[in-house]
Amino acid sequence: MICNLCPRQCNALRTAHSGDGFCGMGTLPVVARIAPHFGEEPCISGTRGSGAVFFSGCTMRCVYCQNHAISLTGRGAVRTPQQLAESYRMLEDAGVHNINLITADHFAPAVAESLSLYRPRVPVVYNCSGYTAPKTLQLLSGLVDIYLPDFKYADDALARRLSAAPDYVNTATSAIKEMLFQVGEPRCDSDGLLQKGVIVRHLILPAHTRNSIAVLEHLERRFGKQLWVSLMCQYVPCGAAKNDPKLGRTITRREYDKVKRVLFALGLDGFTQDLSAATEAEIPEWNLI
């Protein structure tokens, strides 16, 4: 196939097992981990975990990526749509609260097919970078219940430098608009578990509080109470960031408190983390590599 799924519009040639686009992946999904996951927001993980399916490869190149072992190498096991559908059944049988598809943009057609083959009895979560083309999200309309995108940057120059992602702000804004159109405002069940809606995640980077504050202001201005915001302090230097003079450390309490004050002042609903989350112990083991 000729691929233009992601905002880069690569016009790449992709076969089942290989591709010459930015993601470097074929059209068949490559999966690095399938297991219950307890590291998401409380309304996602609950008490029995979120049924996580971690896909390999990525449409971004974040220099600090915590999952660089799979996002940059593409290592993992190939799964057909039929096999993915069986994975959802397996996770459901394990008692998870939802099926959580993590970094699947570059495999969206196959993922949509898998959800058409088997519609899970629990909510489906689509967990992505936010750097997603609305037309790709439209492939998932009616198949996804909860969107969990990042909004990493309010500055396109910073997005280009740290993630090789041009036009990030407009792209992520348009993507979230499409997500809200599909699933509406957050709705929970009687146990406080999210059933529908959008949670936007923002990871605070060391020495970049100005960017974080601008992201929060942008989200409040564009979307207000239509979505929840998850403010994350779990950054640890990984990959190329370990040797970066600014990114080679965790964030400080002062940096975190500065951004949190803006979150509360804007009246945005959502979640915060404890600074103890900033540890490599939060990075999953890739059991399908």
Instruction: List the CATH number of the domain containing 170.
Output: 3.20.20.70
Within a domain: 17: no
Within-domain flag for 50: yes
Full residue range of the structural domain in which residue 237 is found: 29-282
Q: What pTM does this model have?
A: 0.96
User: Domain for residue 8, yes or no?
Assistant: no
User: How sure is the predictor about 282, in pLDDT bands with cuts at 50, 70 and 90?
Assistant: low
pLDDT at 103 over 80: yes
In a domain? residue 12: no
- Counted domains in the chain: 1
Mean pLDDT of 51-65: 96
Note the pLDDT tens digit of each residue in 162-219. 999 999 999 999 999 999 999 999 999 999 999 999 999 999 999 999 999 999 999 9
Tell me the average pLDDT of the chain.
95
Structural domain includes residue 11: no
Examine the pLDDT at 25 and tell me if it is beyond 70: yes
Within-domain flag for 19: no
CB atoms within 10 A of CB 184: 13
pLDDT in tens, 212-253: 999 999 999 999 999 999 999 999 999 889 989 999 999 999
Instruction: Tell whether 189 is covered by a domain.
Output: yes
pLDDT tens-digit series, residues 64-101 = 999 888 998 889 999 999 999 999 999 999 999 999 99
268 domain residue, yes or no: yes
